[in-house]
Structure 1
């Protein structure tokens, strides 16, 4: 099963829009940064627009963030792109007559829920501004051959 990259690609798009806000931002240009197709970028931008994270004008390459980057959390982006999708999936096809097979779903399910809540709490405490600032620090370190 392929793991979805909608969330990370959406964060990528939002950071790209903010960092390159003074340029013409076509879906082709954004797609070249993500190394995906412009169709995927347009689809994700549609989701971001529907969820109030970006504003776009039909026929122009001028997407803008709808809010300041410090007002957009990773949780906002996650909920917009993944909704209530499970972070982890349990195998429900186990032998109920086996000690492990008969109990693994209940036991793992509780741990999975704890991990999911921890991740969502962390996402709620990280803003797009935090991501952008870290990207810029990483780039500066690269330019100085550090790290």
Structure 2
């Protein structure tokens, strides 16, 4: 399916593309919203060490977030010993509305929530503008025929 999507040259939203490719297990769910000229991206990733388990990269207007999670539990009892491991890497790429300066991007981790703040330039208001229509064979107004 991935080859068909690539050959078709169609750009599907990431969640849909991952669904079609069967790659939902490694997908990091995020919340995106704008707040006073800043794009805020939040991800719930409890139990990680942000210094060692998080990589945030800015490539053009693509913000790439990768989180490694490793969990180990042990049970020792009269009947024996049991241990469980769960680990994996979860990633997400967020397309920014415009290229931004890497120095302005800020990330924080509080109470299991990874938050990335990206200042984005305000988009100009989409105002209406009347387009003049010329007469004749494509002559512009004021030009000699």
Give the TM interval when normalised to the shorter protein: under 0.3
- For CA contacts below 8 A with separation 6 or more, give which structure has more relative contact order: 1
Give the strand-richer structure, 1 or 2: 2
TM-score normalised according to structure 1 size: 0.24
